[in-house]
Amino acid sequence: MKANRGEMTIIEHLEELRWRIIVSIAALVIFSILGYFLSPKVLEAIHRSLPGVDFLIFTSLSEAFFVTLKIAIYVGLILAMPVILWEIWAFVAPALEPKEKILVGTLLPFIYLLFIGGLAFAFFVALPWTVNFFMSYAGPGLKPFLSIDDYLSFLFSMGVGFGLVFQLPLVILALTKLGLVKVEFLRRNRKYAILVIFILAAFITPGTDMVSQVIMALPLMVLYELSIILSVLFK
């Protein structure tokens, strides 16, 4: 790889991109193999998140196998994300201005940490509330009979949704540092931001119930206020 990226030809750019994609895929494969061996523990944790449910079912012959593969890939993606983010950063960094490069390079580790924080909040805080709400409708004549594939998809949607919305402080901080948004604008339009947050929560949450939407909107409101504080501190 040449030291000066500005002098690279289009073929050399494509070659570098190819190798960075290969490294990212290799990291995903390696960590997915690890995730495959961890899948029984993950399945056990998934089962424990459903109080009152004795077992989860699979409705087709291959469903349990593919659920195990999905868990392996999800775990692999979470563990490989630092490598993938680094490869993306290493490819685009030479094209950034020095101010942009410092800003993105500083925020990069926090992108991953906030994503993990969003996953943890989804599993340990939002999920119990959501599960308890839905399970409260069970009764003597209405018993839960849950498919593992459907429940895993629900967990994945909720986890990714919270992982993404937890990036809000970094997005706002980056916009304020680049001069695209003013702190005074954020303060003045707080009521409109709350409205947008509830609309965003309605789109992101996997369920259509108000409980899960409110559970997502509340941390978003806290993160919005945190974004203002961080923007003031870094200003």
Q: CB within 8 A of 131, min separation 6: which ones?
A: 49, 50, 51
Cβ partners under 8 Å of residue 206, min gap 6: 153, 154, 157, 158, 161, 212
Task: Note the pLDDT of residue 134.
Answer: 80
pLDDT in tens, 142-198: 788 888 999 999 899 888 888 988 888 888 888 887 777 888 888 888 888 888 888
Q: Is 59 in contact with 147 (CB distance < 8 Å)?
A: yes
Counting as low any pLDDT under 70, the low residues of the chain are 1-7, 204-209, 212, 235
Which residue, chain included where needed, has tokens 């960590």? 31
The DSSP call for residue 181 is S
Q: What is the pTM of this model?
A: 0.80
pLDDT of res. 113: 92
pLDDT score at 71: 94
| Torsion, CA 142, CA 46, CA 121, CA 84, rounded to 10 | -140
Q: What pLDDT does residue 1 have? A: 42
50: left (phi > 0), else alpha (psi -120 to 50), else beta? beta
- Give the pair of three-digit tokens for residue 115: 């994503």
Dmax (CA) for the chain in angstroms is 72
